[in-house]
Structure 1
Amino acid sequence: MSPEQWPVRVLLVEDDVRVARVNRDLLERDPAVHVVGSAASCAQGDALARALQPDLILLDVHLPDGSGLGLLHHWRAAGILTDVALITAADDEPSVRLALAHGAFDYLIKPFTGARLAELVARHRARRPTAAGGPRLDQAELDRVLNVTSSASESLPRGIDPHTLERVAAALRDAQTSVSAEELGERVGLSRVTAWRYLEHLVRVGEATLDHVYGQSGRPAKLYRAARV
């Protein structure tokens, strides 16, 4: 099973029922993502996090009985290291800084796109080295988990994230046939436009090749495949 197919069990902590339903629908577009619980308060969220032990928690800041930031701090103090991402309308810099200081690995400001939410899930999968087998890490794996950027990645064009590039390149190498940007984006949880941008970069650096296939409409389709070494 490739990393982009790893199952993800998600807990939603969101007091707006409509928003929680929309987020659930967006998440479960990925057949390997399962929302295992939904809480509308800090107390419910804490209880479900301990009972369900999800892989990923999506947490609001403003909750009826307290702050999601306080709940996150409580979890970390208790040694609960589950991946937590904030999904909230709180767009002030102190909230963002506090969330990151307490160990949130991502922060989405409402409203957000389905593609950005899918990218959050993909980042969570990329942070799970033990899912690939074994608790031990080499330095490259540890740098990826810690989001350490190597000197080689500093030369990447603006808008090209080294870890996302690694996932796109790996998915392209795993593909049995040439794929479109849309097909590859679905495999790694990226929008078609984002996948296209990374694929074009791989073509420019010689790690992928581009084929133009003409169909009945007369418009060429762009198909990408990994370059042969």
Structure 2
Amino acid sequence: MSRVRVLLVEDDLRVARVNRDLLERDEGVHVVGSAATLAQADALAQALEPDLILLDVHLPDGSGLGLLRHWRAQGRTTDVALITAADDEASVRTALAQGAFDYLIKPFTGARLAEVVARHRARRTPLAGGRGPLGQSQLDRLLGVSGGAPEPLPRGIDPHTLERVAGVLDAAAAALSAEEVGDRAQLSRVTAWRYLEHLVRTGRASLDHQYGQGGRPAKLYRARESAPAER
């Protein structure tokens, strides 16, 4: 899967730098631009065509909610998540009604920000390849419906690191060993192996064995083409 191209819309330059650093810890994410006003955000959204826009509400020249409404009226369907101090119910409901797929209230954790990227990745995974009607499980993946409460991650599994490892598999053209994944994700082989095994257990990756001349077979991992719900 190609890298996620992100546009940040945040008028506090310090906060924008922190958010950029958090996002780009994931090698599969590239922040293509940063805007501090509505006018800048609108111009950059048109010029850069990002995959994901992280949008503040309170900006010097108006409300990010108005800009989101403007984009939707224009037919722009880019994934937008709100990242804002606006914690009132009216702002949340307006954002969701205008098509925001997530809403983070400041301050938030790096893990929660990583979840935004993970949800975006799941939403842009090809569903029916443009052919024929969608199945319910495919549509549920687009809508972020899991069919029940999500299970907590096991002890020692960090969501941000998990998405880094999953991103390496998504981007790989062939199956990889734990050592190769560790090199690409800047993790030790043992750590990469632990996360890869979790991905296999949860159905997000598959495991192959490569038999050589002697000794134990090598374990190779690849991303699964479909979500676990479709198995």
Q: Please give the range of the TM-score, normalised by the shorter of the 2 chains.
A: 0.5 to 0.7
1:1-229 to 2 correspondences below 5 Å: 6-130=2-126, 134-136=129-131, 138-139=134-135, 140-149=137-146, 153-154=147-148
CA shift in 2, pair 1:35/1:133, >3 Å: farther
Deviation, structure 1 residue 53: 0.4
Gap regions ≥5 residues in structure 1: 204-224
Residue 33 of structure 2 aligns to a residue whose secondary structure is strand
CA shift in 2, pair 1:25/1:158, >3 Å: closer
| Structure 2 counterpart of 1:144, one-letter code | R
Deviation, structure 1 residue 108: 0.7
Q: How many residue pairs get matched?
A: 180
| Superposed CA offset, 1:134-153 (max 9, x none) | 3346312122102345xxx3
User: RMSD of aligned C-alpha atoms?
Assistant: 3.7
Aligned partners of 1:59 and 1:88 also within 8 Å: yes
CA–CA separation in structure 1 for the residues paired with 2:93 and 2:176: 43
| Structure 2 counterpart of 1:92, one-letter code | D
Deviation, structure 1 residue 127: 0.2
- Deviating above 6 A after TM superposition, structure 1's stretches of 4 or more consecutive aligned residues are 174-179
Moved more, 133-142 or 112-121: 133-142
CA shift in 2, pair 1:51/1:177, >3 Å: closer
Residue 10 of structure 1 aligns to a residue whose secondary structure is strand
CA–CA separation in structure 2 for the residues paired with 1:23 and 1:57: 12
Gap regions ≥5 residues in structure 2: 154-158, 170-174, 203-220, 222-231
Aligned partners of 1:129 and 1:141 also within 8 Å: no
CA–CA separation in structure 1 for the residues paired with 2:118 and 2:54: 14
Residue 40 of structure 2 aligns to a residue whose secondary structure is helix
CA–CA separation in structure 2 for the residues paired with 1:177 and 1:97: 45
CA–CA separation in structure 1 for the residues paired with 2:36 and 2:52: 16
Percent identity, aligned pairs only, is: 67
Moved more, 138-147 or 48-57: 138-147
CA shift in 2, pair 1:18/1:157, >3 Å: closer
Residue 7 of structure 2 aligns to a residue whose secondary structure is strand
Aligned partners of 2:50 and 2:78 also within 8 Å: yes
| Superposed CA offset, 1:115-171 (max 9, x none) | 1111110110000033x883346312122102345xxx34x57658xxx9xx99xx6
| Structure 2 counterpart of 1:146, one-letter code | L
| Superposed CA offset, 1:12-44 (max 9, x none) | 111111111111111111112111111110111
Deviation, structure 1 residue 9: 0.4
CA–CA separation in structure 1 for the residues paired with 2:38 and 2:150: 41
CA–CA separation in structure 2 for the residues paired with 1:157 and 1:22: 28
Residue 72 of structure 1 aligns to a residue whose secondary structure is helix
TM-score by length of 2: 0.64
